[in-house]
A and B are shown apart, each in its own frame.
Chain A
């Protein structure tokens, strides 16, 4: 299965600032997925990032707040913009495995906004 390196692993940020999260995959993948996991909750899909086109956002998530880049088939970034305490969550990237649909996750970024 694919191996994903995600960073930073955690950060504490001031409200009103932005944070960019990076995910690097050890193989080329068509789609990369970004999820948010609020404390004690399940994983909610933010957007799907396809190389060479704009990301597709889920209901409740907008590009201005969560801009995504996908410059090549192994890398993607998610920016959390103009942060507020409500953005405090774990953010995870995910890719589909090369065989048999197995999806793997990055180690997550634990974001605290103060």
Chain B
């Protein structure tokens, strides 16, 4: 089955800096790659996603890049703010109707 590796497990940045989280996946059939933000005590919230026919997608301060050949994708957060502090999970899925396989998560701390 699909195996998703996520790095780093913890990340601390100063407010205004950029943060990058990287994930690799094993199943070449995977074609959908979402990123979730989970604040303490809350459900995971989808923040951005990308499909295999796209190399990069951006939404304001958040961007995701995908390299299908190398089987890795990354989350980029620019101009970080303290409210960006949370646990971020990457995930992969092979097709509609299939469950997401999650990475182990990255705990991001943005210090003022």
B95 to chain A, nearest CB (A): 9
Taken together as a complex, chains A and B put the C-alpha atoms of A30 and B95 apart, in Å, by 14
Q: How many A residues have CB within 8 A of the partner chain? A: 22
Taken together as a complex, chains A and B put the C-alpha atoms of A30 and B96 apart, in Å, by 10
Query: Which of A92, A101, A103 is close to B51, meaning CB atoms less than 8 Å apart?
Result: A101
Interface of A is mostly: strand
Q: In the complex, how many residue pairs between chain A and chain B have their CB atoms under 8 Å apart?
A: 49
Decide if B99 touches A45 in the complex (CB within 8 Å).
yes
A59-90: which have CB < 8 Å to B?
none
Contact with B along A4-33 (1 / 0, CB 8 A): 000000000000000000000000001101
A42 at the interface (CB under 8 A from B): yes
Please choose the segment from B58-66, B67-75, B100-108 that sits at the chain A interface, where 4 or more of its residues have CB less than 8 A away: B100-108
Taken together as a complex, chains A and B put the C-alpha atoms of A30 and B93 apart, in Å, by 16
Chain B residues near A (Cβ < 8 Å): 32, 34, 42-44, 46, 49, 51, 89, 93, 96-97, 99-105
